[in-house]
Amino acid sequence: MYGFKRNLDKLFYVLNHFFVDKFFMAVKVMSGHGLIHFICIAIFLIMLQVFVYALEKSTSEEKSFDTFSSIRDAREYEELRGVWLSTVGNIDWPIKNGSEEDQKNLLIAYLDKMVQQNMNAVFFQAKPTGGAMYPSKYAPFAAEFTGEEQIENPYNIDFLEFLINEAHARNIEVHVWVNPFRIATHSDRSRLSPKNFGVVYEALDKDGLAGESNQTNSMITYGGRLYLDPGHPIAHDYVIEVVQELLVNYDIDGIHFDDYFYQYKVAGETWNDENTCRTSKTGRKFNCSREEGTAGKKGLGDWRRDNINRLVERIQKEIKEIKPYVKWGISPFGVWRNALTPENNSSIFDSEGSRTRAGQTSYDDLYADARLWYRSGSHYVDYLVPQIYWTRHLQAASYNVVTDWWIKEGRRGGVKAALYIGHALYKAGNSDNVEPWKDVATMAEQIEFNREETKSNVVAGSVFFTMHDLMDRPGYPNNLVGYKMMNYVRTKLYKNPSLIPVVRAMKDRKAPPPVKNLKADVLSDSAVRLSWQDSSPWKVDRYGHLTSEPARYYVVYRLREGGEVEILKKVWRQAHSYNIEFTDGSAEPGQYTYAVASLDRLHNQSKLMQVSLRVPVLIGRQEYAFETQRE
């Protein structure tokens, strides 16, 4: 059929231009040959054009409308594909004592790699400890830059602002990742800057400024590291101030916490916070001397979970008051609770947990009730990214078993927070016989499991730890396996760009208006130029950042006759721009339908505007291509 139409194109070209030439000849000799000759040629030419138009119209609009209207339900078109960019201990960035250009170039290399892999969200660790990767009123510059915390910026640039601008230009969301209570990855107080809040925190007690009477503000030393006490109200206030500063100063898409609330248990050490529990107002309803409650009174563990719940809820309220379009999410440890009796502690298990025997759990050891947050919709968080850092072969906590537990939780009634899955890309190449991480298909298998088992679209995407494992780094054999894993994912599952799904629990579901005046011009037999206008105004909030109302970017879909719909490009909207162009340089002769939609920063998608045309086989000069436009 395609070959027939291609030959028909050539015939139309010859006939059309033959009669056009005849038309002009008729004009020249009309006086000599009579008016009737001219009229006959003109009528025949018009009839030929009408015939061509009718054929083009019928072939271009056939089934395209039904296909485009169903794209929002297709998994391959909407999927968060994120990666954590870790800064603590210089895991991914920054380069210790690196030049400004080297620091910028590495960030750009990471973002360009994400574009190449068709990924769409970066989770940047902006505050890994008491130090920050950006100019902050509440923190010194992190020790990762020079080896020691610095009060003054060691560079002439705000790297967080730089990252945000570069990421957004590539249509990549930026979630700012904060570790709330970790002050330092060592226990030497003398190495802390006077601006580090751990130092400020302890000084408050000496000046008699403690938040509540009889409370001390001493940092907790645990596992050779320094932490704030999550049960202390001053620690909560500090975390809120950090979040507020990031919201006001930066055009971010999300605030993100990892799994470190209370810390993973260290054998032989005790987290000393009983005094905080006994002397705080919130601790009066709890038995602070016992982990588990007695005689109807909840215990120390319940008080700790209450502390974290109140902080998580407070952050959600704060974000929605300042910038309701910014998402709030947490990446908890993958296992909420064990349903099977753990081998190391027969007293801790819950029939509602997953059929696992994890050595530690989010609920019992980190005091993070992630299931409560998940079930409560946007009351606590907008999304969760449980870290399911195992393969399906690990019997104690199989990837498939844990992921399936989260999926089943998501199928319960009510609107849940969005669910993404955290994958252990950093384990690629691990020689552990219990978990074979050397198979390059491992990541693809996990993603396919998520897609196969989520008929109700529970899992909305994936986030990979960590950024440098996307790269080809000579001299790091394990890293090379991760690089190959993600290339396999790219060729098998991430072939085309993908949109980030709308978070159902967020209230802003109003889509921007559709584009207008969509046109398509054939530039050659391999290039089509699309142009359109945006009808939505450019609006910014009181901080100068784009609100959630106008279009932030556009998506261009393409359907070739006999093929499948593909996302061809996501086009970023420049500030205050209303006339937009995009050239498809991968077209071939044939019938095409293009569709363009505008999307806001929450990824609400407008109605589609469509244009159909035939890319002809050009003979000597450019040929006119018919087009039709529909909503």
CA–CA gap between residue 275 and residue 215 (Å, rounded): 8
CA–CA gap between residue 113 and residue 252 (Å, rounded): 21
What residues in the chain have per-residue pLDDT under 50? Answer: 1-32, 52-66, 72-73, 208-211, 213-214, 620-628
CA–CA gap between residue 598 and residue 20 (Å, rounded): 40
Residues 113, 464 contacting (CB under 8 angstroms) = no
Take residue 379 and report the two structure tokens written for it.
Answer: 């009351």
Q: What is the pLDDT of residue 520?
A: 95
CA–CA gap between residue 338 and residue 351 (Å, rounded): 8
Q: Which residues contact 45 (CB under 8 A, 6 or more apart)?
A: 19, 20, 22, 23
Tell me the helices (H) and strands (E) count for the chain, helix number first.
Answer: 13, 21
Amino acid identity at 329:
G
CA–CA gap between residue 542 and residue 414 (Å, rounded): 34
Q: Which residues contact 17 (CB under 8 A, 6 or more apart)?
A: none
CA–CA gap between residue 614 and residue 625 (Å, rounded): 6
CA–CA gap between residue 525 and residue 614 (Å, rounded): 10
| CB environment 197-211: b (16+ within 10 A), e (fewer) | bbbbbeebeeeeebb
Sign of torsion over alpha carbons 489, 495, 500, 502: negative
Residues 219, 201 contacting (CB under 8 angstroms) = yes
pTM tops 0.85: yes
* Other residues' Cβ atoms within 10 Å of the Cβ of residue 518: 22
Residues 347, 291 contacting (CB under 8 angstroms) = no
**Among candidates 14, 144, 75, which has minimal Cα distance to 456?**
75
Full strand arrangement of the beta sheet holding 220-222: 182-184, 225-227, 220-222
H-state helical runs in 454-601: 477-492
* Other residues' Cβ atoms within 10 Å of the Cβ of residue 181: 26
Q: Which residues contact 36 (CB under 8 A, 6 or more apart)?
A: none
CA–CA gap between residue 86 and residue 331 (Å, rounded): 14
* Angle at CA of residue 315, ends 502 and 121, nearest 5°: 35
Range list of β-strands (E), 53-211: 80-85, 121-127, 173-178, 182-184
**Among candidates 74, 124, 170, 130, which has minimal Cα distance to 451?**
74
Residues 222, 261 contacting (CB under 8 angstroms) = no
* Other residues' Cβ atoms within 10 Å of the Cβ of residue 32: 7
Take residue 466 and report the two structure tokens written for it.
Answer: 């960590």
Q: What is the pLDDT of residue 28?
A: 46
Q: What is the pLDDT of residue 4?
A: 46
174 DSSP β-pair partners? 122
| C-alpha to C-alpha distances, 589 to 253, 308, 524, 585, 617, nearest whole angstrom | 40, 60, 9, 12, 6
Q: How many CA atoms lie within 13 A of 384 on its CB side?
A: 34
Q: What is the pLDDT of residue 7?
A: 47
pLDDT tens per residue, range 486-510: 999 999 999 999 999 999 888 777 8
CA–CA gap between residue 99 and residue 105 (Å, rounded): 10
Mean pLDDT of the chain: 86
Question: What dihedral do alpha carbons 217, 218, 223, 225 form, nearest 10°?
Answer: 90
Q: Under DSSP, is residue 423 helix (H, G, I), strand (E, B) or coil?
A: strand
CA–CA gap between residue 518 and residue 611 (Å, rounded): 7
Range list of β-strands (E), 465-552: 516-524, 527-533
* Other residues' Cβ atoms within 10 Å of the Cβ of residue 156: 6
How is 7-18 classified by DSSP, letter by letter? HHHHHHHHHHHH
Q: How many CA atoms lie within 13 A of 103 on its CB side?
A: 23
Q: What is the pLDDT of residue 553?
A: 97
